[in-house]
């Protein structure tokens, strides 16, 4: 286990990384909520070292989904995708940290669970592409658009990590 001093050094080192403010949108899809996977998925992102800056549970509207999945409108599975995504509540989150977009995609795994590695969310919790538990933005620009679509700026919190001097007094 690391001492407080070591953790502080690690923290300062992390904070000095140039793109530490990168953000991504992660959504736990209705099957993830139904299967009580919310805690386990959040745990993975916390454990990895990312910072949660926005979180809400909601029932998605058709309008937001048609914007979110606008690139997929012509796909044969589009209507069933929208039915799936509106079949129950989602947990939508914004996570921040160094290279968070790319690292989250790796943590989430291949779109098709048959090709998702064990150890990824999809590789550990799903078997079919139409019930693949989680969404993660696929590029930094895509993440910015998705964050704007799902969140108001005021609902994203820019908080500082505690260090050893923050004991509450
Ligand atoms: P990703 O979610 O990994 O970025 P895509 O953007 O290609 O993948 O697809 C968006 C979502 O559409 C997928 O996560 C999955 O829920 C659904 N989807 C993709 N391909 C299929 C398919 N062939 N059949 C059913 N649903 C699909």
* Residue-averaged pLDDT of the chain: 92
Q: Across residues 117-127, what is the average pLDDT?
A: 98
Is 70 exceeded by the pLDDT of residue 169? no
Q: Which residue's alpha carbon is nearest to atom 19 within ligand 1?
A: 129
Residues with catalytic annotation? Answer: 135
Q: Output the pLDDT for position 161.
A: 83
Q: Which residue's alpha carbon is nearest to atom 14 within ligand 1?
A: 111
Q: Name the residue of 25, 74, 77, 92 whose CB sits within 8 Å of the most ligand 1 atoms, as the mutation to test its pocket.
A: 77
Give me ligand 1 centre to Cα 45, in Å.
21
**How far is the CA of 88 from the CAs of 29, 33, 93, in angstroms?**
8, 8, 16
Nearest Cα to Cα of residue 26 among 112, 133, 99, 114: 133
Q: Which of 3-7, 58-62, 150-154 has the lowest mean pLDDT?
A: 3-7
Q: Across residues 113-119, what is the average pLDDT?
A: 98
**How far is the CA of 123 from the CAs of 81, 102, 129, in angstroms?**
20, 17, 11
Q: Output the pLDDT for position 17.
A: 57
Give me ligand 1 centre to Cα 165, in Å.
46
Is 90 exceeded by the pLDDT of residue 36? yes
Beta-bridge partner residues of 118: 120
Ligand 1 pocket, residue 130 CB under 6 Å: yes
Known binding-site positions for ATP: 29, 77, 105, 111, 122, 132
If one compares 20 and 149, the residue with the highest pLDDT of the two is: 149
Q: Across residues 50-54, what is the average pLDDT?
A: 98
pLDDT per position as a tens digit, 129-159: 999 999 999 999 999 999 999 999 999 999 9
Is 60 exceeded by the pLDDT of residue 99? yes
Nearest Cα to Cα of residue 30 among 116, 91, 77: 91
Is 90 exceeded by the pLDDT of residue 20? no
The interface predicted TM-score of the complex, written ipTM, equals 0.98
Give me ligand 1 centre to Cα 108, in Å.
13
Q: Which residues contact 100 (CB under 8 A, 6 or more apart)?
A: 22, 23, 24, 50
Is 80 exceeded by the pLDDT of residue 14? no
């Amino acid at each position: 286990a690391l001492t407080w001093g070591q953790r502080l050094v690690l923290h300062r080192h992390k904070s000095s990384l140039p793109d530490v403010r990168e953000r991504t949108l992660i959504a736990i899809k209705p099957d993830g909520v139904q299967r009580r996977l919310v805690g386990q998925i959040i745990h993975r992102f916390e454990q990895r070292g990312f910072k949660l800056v926005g979180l809400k549970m909601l029932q998605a509207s058709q309008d937001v989904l048609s914007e979110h999945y606008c690139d997929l409108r012509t796909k044969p599975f589009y209507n069933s995708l929208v039915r799936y995504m509106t079949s129950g509540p989602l947990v939508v989150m914004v996570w921040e940290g160094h290279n968070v977009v790319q690292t989250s995609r790796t943590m989430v795994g291949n779109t098709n669970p048959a090709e998702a590695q064990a150890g990824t969310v999809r590789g550990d919790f799903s078997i079919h592409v139409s019930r693949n538990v989680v969404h993660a933005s696929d590029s930094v620009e895509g993440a910015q658009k998705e964050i704007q679509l799902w969140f108001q700026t005021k609902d994203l919190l820019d908080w500082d990590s505690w260090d050893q001097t923050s004991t509450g007094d």
